DNA sequence: ATTCTGAATATTATCTTGAATATTCAGAAT
DNA sequence: ATTCTGAATATTCAAGATAATATTCAGAAT
């Protein structure tokens, strides 16, 4: 029988996730052992498997909440009623850039985790991308509604913007450039994109 | 003394390059040995070093001529007098896409070579990027001159376009998507970029 | 003198194998 | 019944040994 992980105390799951997070951030995914996580939680390694399928599953759960964080902070950006659609797009792009750059620079072992996730759980990445497309689509639609933008196909445009800004989304590419360089790229790109979006 | 490699018979260099190319394409950079290349050329491995500094140097020379090829075919695109600037930009983006996709799909071991080049010879990549910026800049300037575009800072815009199309330039990313997907991305992105470039 | 090679050396990759670690599971503890 | 553990097993890692390979160089061949 495959024992379901539902109905198990959520607080213990959280405790495990927190212990794993600290280990993963400091020592990396590979160098962290299940035994260490278990010791931090004052339980046996075997018991971890009642709460998670395996080590990767812990990382996946952490990653999901990170991605959800990013998504919700990006959603906040476009819900800011005090800003124009153009400013929101700029904020969206820079928020993406800063979020990923911060993660990359503060987490020396991030790419390790990213690699682990990308083998076998590419669906998470796709889901995240789709969510971003949704957010961008409503940003554009709001811009259309307010008369600021004149975009005929918001969703297709959202996809194009995501394609254009992929350099700010890939934790593998971000570390190749300095923050200053990335900011310049983001500024130039935003300017160009806006020229195409704004009503003439 | 460091013996100069000039004044050596060019035809032998070419012969070596051709032998190495075939080996690299079929078996990859790492699995190809200097001894094998030498045997194909009916000479000793030691003699290869009269013509090239080392194994990587052979790959670098091959790569340079590939990049030069791409650059010259992109230059041809923008020199086509029968097309509008908009069409040229579209051609430029699709030519980049097709060129890299073709290379990736026809060369199973390409990423190996790319990795080898990227360690220590990043200058080649930068140089290539700068060349592409130049080409794009003159495309934009020509568009401005003909009254088709209204771009205030062509070079900065060229850089932004290159940033936006980076997904089509990276041999590490290209293989992640199907040709069909890439074409859709390229079409959507081109449309969006043109909206920002065309005179209103 | 120049071109080239075989043999020597330095560097890298591959393989082996003991040790660490992930995962499972029978059963103890509650 | 449920939660948990210790011990067993399966998998992965890593240090050392071995074998390939890159690179150099003294000197042979032309």
pLDDT in tens, A124-140: 999 999 999 999 999 99
- Residue whose Cα is closest to the C1' of C2: B8
Strand C contact residues in chain A (53-82), C-beta within 7 Å: 53-56
Most distant pair of Cα atoms in chain B: their distance: 65
Residues of chain B with CATH 1.10.357.10: 56-197
* Per-residue pLDDT tens digits for A72-123: 999 999 999 999 999 999 999 999 999 999 999 988 888 889 888 988 788 9
Q: Which two tokens stand for residue B134?
A: 């130049």
Mean pLDDT of A32-61: 94
CA(B16)–C1'(D20) in Å?
22
What is the reported pLDDT for A200?
62
CATH 1.10.10.60 in chain A: give the residue spans: 5-48
Nearest neighbour of A193 by CB, restricted to B156, B173, B192 = B192
- Give Cα B129 to chain centroid, integer Å: 9
Cβ atoms of B27 and B16 closer than 8 Å: no
Token pair listed for B185: 């991305």
- pLDDT exceeds 70 at position A44: yes
Report the pLDDT value the prediction gives residue A81, as an integer from 0 to 100.
92
- What is the CATH topology of the domain spanning B56-197? Tetracycline Repressor; domain 2 (1.10.357)
Q: Which two tokens stand for residue A130?
A: 């789709």
Q: Is the CB of B49 under 7 A from strand D?
A: yes
pLDDT averaged over every residue in chain B: 93
Cα B66 from Cα B109, distance rounded (Å): 15
DSSP H helical segments within chain A, as ranges?
Answer: 10-27, 34-40, 45-51, 55-78, 85-106, 110-118, 122-145, 154-164, 179-197
Q: Is B35 left (phi over 0), alpha (psi -120 to 50) or beta?
A: alpha
Residues 144-163 of A, Cβ under 7 A from nucleic strand D: none
What average pLDDT does the segment B7-24 reach? 94
Give the nearest partner residue to B196 out of A166, A167, A196, using CB atoms.
A196
Between chain A and chain B, how many beta carbons pairs sit less than 8 Å apart? Answer: 65
Express as a percent the part of chain B with pLDDT over 70. Answer: 97
E strand segments, chain B = none
**Chain A residues with CB-CB distance to B191 below 8 A:** 160
CB contact under 8 A, B194 and A192: no
Mean pLDDT of A148-163: 95
Q: Is the pLDDT of residue A162 over 80?
A: yes
Find the nucleotide nearest A3 (Cα to C1′): D2
Judged by CB atoms closer than 8 Å, whether chains meet at A195 and B195 is answered as: yes
Q: For residue range B19-73, list pLDDT tens digits in order.
A: 999 999 999 999 999 999 999 999 999 999 999 999 999 999 999 999 999 999 9
3-class secondary structure, B30:
coil
C-alpha span between A140 and A133 (Å, rounded): 10
Q: Would you state the CATH architecture of domain B5-48?
A: Orthogonal Bundle (1.10)
C-beta atoms of B189 and A164 within 8 A: yes
Mean pLDDT, residues B153-174 taken together: 94
For range B101-125, the mean pLDDT: 89
* Residue A62 reports pLDDT greater than 60: yes
Q: Does the pLDDT of residue B1 top 70, yes or no? A: no
**At B6, is the secondary structure helix, strand, or coil?**
coil
pLDDT recorded at residue A5:
75
Task: Flag if A159 and B200 touch (Cβ within 8 Å).
Answer: no
Q: Is the pLDDT of residue B89 over 90?
A: yes
**For chain A, how many residues are written?**
200
Read off the pLDDT of each residue in B173-181 and give the average, rounded to a whole number: 91
pLDDT over 90, % of chain B: 82
Nucleotide C26 C1' to residue B69 CA (A): 67
- What pLDDT does A1 receive? 41
Q: CA-CA distances (angstroms) from residue A48 to A5, A41, A45, A194?
A: 11, 9, 5, 49
**pLDDT average, residue stretch B151-162:** 96
B115 CB contact with strand C at below 7 Å: no
Chain B, nearest residue to A192 by Cα: B196
DSSP letter (8 states) at residue A149 = B
Distance from CA of A147 to the nearest CA of B (A): 17
């Amino acid at each position: 029988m495959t024992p379901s992980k539902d109905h198990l105390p959520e607080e213990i799951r959280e405790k495990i996730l927190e212990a794993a997070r600290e280990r993963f951030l400091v020592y990396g995914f590979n160098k962290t052992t299940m035994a260490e996580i278990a010791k931090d939680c004052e339980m046996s390694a075997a018991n971890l498997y009642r709460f998670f399928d395996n080590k990767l599953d812990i990382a996946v759960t952490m990653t999901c909440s990170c991605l959800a964080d990013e998504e919700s902070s990006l959603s906040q950006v476009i819900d800011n009623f005090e800003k124009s659609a153009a400013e929101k797009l700029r904020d969206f792009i820079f928020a993406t850039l800063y979020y990923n750059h911060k993660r990359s620079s503060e987490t020396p072992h991030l790419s390790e985790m990213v690699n682990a996730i990308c083998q076998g759980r590419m669906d998470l990445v796709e889901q995240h991308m789709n969510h971003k497309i949704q957010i961008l689509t409503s940003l554009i639609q709001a811009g259309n509604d307010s008369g600021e933008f004149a975009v005929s196909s918001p969703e297709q445009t959202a996809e194009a913007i995501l394609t254009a800004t992929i350099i700010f989304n890939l934790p593998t590419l971000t570390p190749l450039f300095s923050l200053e360089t990335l900011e310049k790229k983001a500024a130039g790109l935003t300017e160009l994109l806006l020229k195409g979006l704004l009503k003439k």
